[in-house]
Structure 1
Amino acid sequence: MVKPFDTQPGIQSVVSGYTGGHTVNPTYTEVASHTTGHTEAVKITFDPSIITYDQLVSIYWRQTDPTDASGQFQDRGDSYRPVIYVNGPEQRRIATASKEKLAASGQFDAPIVTQIEDAQPFYPAEEEHQDFYRRNPFRYQIEEMGGREAFIQEHWQ
C-alpha cells in the first residue's frame, strides 16, 4: 500500500506499520502470528492544500478488494483485513460517504466489507519493511501479480 500513495504529489511520508491491536510495539513476526489484534497499515502524512483526504480515500479503494474481509489477495488473515482508520469526525464522514457511494455504484456483486475505524496507536514496522517496493522491486512485482494487479485491472480500469 505504500507505492500508490508515495508516488502522489502532496504526500510527505508513508510509513508501514501496525495498528488496531492490543500489543505495544509489535514486531512483524508477532503481527503475522495473528495474535496481536493488529492490522498491517500505512500512516500517511500529506499536505491537504495539494492532495485532499477524499483523494486519499479514492486511491485506497483502487488498491484493495473491498469485498474481502479475510485479507487482501495472497495475504490472508485479520492482520490484512481492509480498514480505513480515521482521525476525527470529518475523516469519518468522508470515508463513510465514499464507502456508501462505492456500495451504491453496483461495481461489485458482493457487499463492501471494508471497516472504518478510529485511528489507534500506530507502531512503525521494522526498517526492512519500510519502502518495500523500492528495496525489493522484483519481489514486489511478484506479489503484485499474486492477484492485486489483475483485480485492479478488472474492477478499476
Structure 2
Amino acid sequence: MTEEKAIFAGGCFWCMVKPFDQMPGIKKVVSGYTGGQVPNPTYEEVCSGTTGHTEAVEITFDPAVISYRQLVEIYWQQTDPTDAFGQFADRGDSYRPVIFYSSLEQKAAAEASKEQLQASGRFNDPIVTSIEPAQAFYPAEDYHQDFYRKNPEHYAAYSEGSGRRGFIRQNWEA
C-alpha cells in the first residue's frame, strides 16, 4: 500500500479536518503549521504573526482509494477561494488559503483544478488561493487535534459563528 501526503491551508485548521477525515482512503489528518521560518512553533507564536506560519492540515492518504485531485476538490468546498487575506472570521496570514504541493504532479493537479474552478463561473471574483511548494510541517498541540470529535459543541458553534458553514451552504451545497 502506497501513502501520499497533501497539505492544505483554509483558515482555522479545526474546520479543515472533518471533511477529509471522513473520506475513504484517508489514513490520518493532522492539524499543524507550515510555511514559516521558526522550527516547531507553538500556537501562541503562530497567532502572534511573527513566525510566518499558516495553519494547515496534513492529510495522509492512499492514492489507490482517493486521488490527490479528489482531495483538491474537497478542499475547494471548505474554503472561500476568493479571499486571500484569511477565511471567514479568521483574518491574517496565518489563516490564508494555500494548497501546498510536494510534487510536480500535485502542483499540476492543483493548478488545473484552480483554472477549472475559475472558468466555472461559480464565483464572480477571481480565485486567489495560493499554490506553493510544501515546506516543513509541524503538528499543532494535542488539544487542536481532532477538535471536531473532542469538542463537538464548540466546533459546531465555531463553524457556524465564523461564517464558514453558511458560506459553504450558500456556495457549495446549493
CA–CA distance in structure 2, aligned partners of residues 113 and 83 of structure 1: 9
Matched, 1:108 2:110: no
Q: For 1:107, what is the secondary structure of its paired residue?
A: coil
| Identical aligned residues as a percent | 66
Q: Which residue type is aligned with residue 116 of structure 1?
A: I
| Aligned residue number for residue 156 of structure 2 | 141
Q: Which runs of 5+ in 1 are unaligned?
A: none
1:109 positional shift: 1.0
Report the counterpart of residue 39 of structure 1 in structure 2.
Answer: 54
The answer to whether the aligner puts 1:11 opposite 2:26 as a matched pair is: yes
The answer for the alignment partner of 2:109 in structure 1 is 94
TM-score (normalised: structure 1):
0.99
Equivalent pairs counted in the alignment come to 157
Structure 2: distance between partners of 1:20 and 1:134 = 27
Moved over 4 A (4+): none
Matched, 1:54 2:69: yes
Structure 2 residues without counterparts, runs of 5 or longer: 1-15
TM value normalised by structure 2 = 0.89
Q: CA RMSD in A?
A: 0.6
